Amino acid sequence: MLKFRKALGAALAVVLATSSFSGFSTTKSVTKASSGNPVTISWYMVVDSAQRGTTRIENAASKYLQSKGINVKLDLQQLTWTDYNTRVTTMISARENFDLLNATVATINSYASSGGFTKLTDSNLKKYAPDAVRTLGTSTINLAKLNGTAYCLPVNKDTADYSGYIYNKDIAKKYGIDVSKIKKMADWAPLFKKLHAKDPSIVCYLSSTFDPIINGKIMFINGSSAMCAGLQLNNTCKKAFDYWEDSNVKSTLKTLRSWYLSGYTLKDTTSNVTDLKNQGKVFVYPYSLKPGVEGELSTHGTHWGAVKTTGAYRSIRNFPGGWATGLSATSQNKNIALQVLNTAYKDRYFENLLVFGQKGVDYTTDHTVITVNSKPNYNISSYAWEVGNQFLDYTTSLQPKDLWSQMKKFNSSAVTYDQTGFWFDASNYSSETTAISSVFKQYSTQLLQGTVDVDSTLPQFVSALKSCGMTRVLDGINTQYAKFLKSKKK
């Protein structure tokens, strides 16, 4: 998932604080009577790879919006994970003009704390995004606020998680592997031994930063694994801690080391893991689950299944860790951009155009479900969770027909932990968090991939984090978290 970006430097904060930006006061709105050249609205999102048919979709979306009285030319900017963080940081620090950005709530709030995003007041939301407000509800919008102020609109989608694993159903069927008794990480070991003996070319387990979440039951502060601070997934944990010192995480790392030595995990750590998944070369990886996730992921010829290890829960991973869209402080047409975003919450055609592309070109339908073409020129359905209102999305032939009914029940049944909605304002800890992130990059990948000895490497990692000011950061988090918990009791 997206790693949390740190607060911008002091110099940038001064520039932003002294800018002439004043919300919506100088921007234009658009009506059906609008005429003249359309206004360009840029919308940045993250995808695995830029879609060949993006220009076609931009033209179709612009024409449709204009027919609805919103005189715009939509500019869809698709960034891959490789360049997303760097590009977004550069855009905001350089004060580049852009309009909309998809990111985690935590990421948007981080930049907003230094003036990078627009305050979305109740009056402006009511005027320019009434359908988004009505769809989300004030309680959901409030969970995404920073110190009582909204800077983004969450995507209307699943608002909770199951912990568990994604597994390759084709591999399980081919080699007669039964996953029905999996309850925890250790249960996979005998199945991996069997699979590796039959086909050593398959990556039995693909580790990731999800491992501390799924196997260690740790939720990252601000949704950021790179901050190295977490809370346990319960209501008894009242203080954040360095999750690399947690006994469950250490046990997980030792298991990953054992699996690496047994040949179960990725040997060539430079491999493109997305390609390996699409090529059917990966059996299992940890994941946060939801209804229909198997079909959402099964868009490249590989058929995935899911194994749940918990009930539904809501935590800081969902708020502020969930995805949303923010309105840039540099947008020259804030009201118009907000109207475009609002359309994705109310208009089924527009929402699905952004997600699946055009009927007859990128997918076919029998009026009940859609079937994505085997080689579509445009399809970001595996990233539908970052766009507008997922409850408007078509279901595919790989998903249950009652998916959205299931999702509503899932959301309503989830246990909400006290930590939900907590966001750490790290603006006074930028030097420490930058150093911590650097150390994280140095040690985390090799530990999670099992390529180094845990007993000798982990203490070095923990010591390096302390040298970076980890204790000061944790003290800051816990001071703010105590105030957050106290405020919830009022």
326: β partners: 101, 152
What is the C-alpha separation between 470 and 84, in angstroms, rounded? 26
User: Is residue 346 assigned to a domain?
Assistant: yes
Say whether pLDDT at 146 is over 60: yes
The predicted pLDDT at position 5 comes to 35
What is the C-alpha separation between 283 and 168, in angstroms, rounded? 5
Can you give the CATH number for the domain in which 389 is found?
Answer: 3.40.190.10
Domain region containing 62: 10-158+319-410
The predicted pLDDT at position 36 comes to 84
The predicted pLDDT at position 21 comes to 39
User: Is residue 174 assigned to a domain?
Assistant: no
What is the C-alpha separation between 308 and 180, in angstroms, rounded? 10
| Eight-class DSSP state of 117 | B
What is the C-alpha separation between 361 and 74, in angstroms, rounded? 20
Q: In sequence order, which residues have a C-beta less than 8 Å from that of residue 400 and are 6 or more positions away?
A: 291, 292, 295, 406
Q: How confident is the model at residue 368 (pLDDT cuts 50, 70, 90)?
A: confident
The predicted pLDDT at position 8 comes to 33
Indicate if the alpha-carbon torsion angle 73, 296, 317, 216 is positive or negative. Answer: negative
Q: pLDDT tens, 17-75?
A: 333 334 564 444 444 435 689 999 999 999 988 899 999 999 999 999 999 999 999 99
What is the average per-residue pLDDT within 305-323? Answer: 94
CA angle at 291 for the pair 286 and 292, rounded to the nearest 5°: 90
The predicted pLDDT at position 293 comes to 92
Kind of pairing, strands 313-314 and 415-416?
Answer: parallel
What is the C-alpha separation between 116 and 268, in angstroms, rounded? 39
The predicted pLDDT at position 71 comes to 97
The predicted pLDDT at position 3 comes to 36
What is the average per-residue pLDDT within 136-161? Answer: 94
User: Is residue 116 assigned to a domain?
Assistant: yes
The predicted pLDDT at position 35 comes to 64
313: β partners: 161, 415
Q: pLDDT tens, 376-413?
A: 799 998 899 999 999 999 998 888 999 999 999 999 99
Residue 430 tokens read as: 């930028």
What is the C-alpha separation between 452 and 131, in angstroms, rounded? 51
The predicted pLDDT at position 4 comes to 34
User: Is residue 136 assigned to a domain?
Assistant: yes
Q: pLDDT tens, 87-139?
A: 999 999 999 999 999 999 999 999 998 899 999 999 999 999 999 999 999 99
DSSP string, 428-462: GGHHHHHHHHHHHHHHHHHHHHT-S-HHHHHHHHH
Q: In sequence order, which residues have a C-beta less than 8 Å from that of residue 40 and are 6 or more positions away?
A: 72, 73, 74, 75
User: Is residue 479 assigned to a domain?
Assistant: no
The residue with tokens 């995404």 is: 144
Counted domains in the chain: 1
Q: Are 95 and 307 in contact (CB under 8 A)?
A: no
Residue 474 tokens read as: 């944790």
User: Is residue 176 assigned to a domain?
Assistant: no
User: Is residue 397 assigned to a domain?
Assistant: yes
pTM of the model: 0.83
User: Is residue 345 assigned to a domain?
Assistant: yes
Q: How confident is the model at residue 480 (pLDDT cuts 50, 70, 90)?
A: very high
What is the C-alpha separation between 180 and 188, in angstroms, rounded? 11
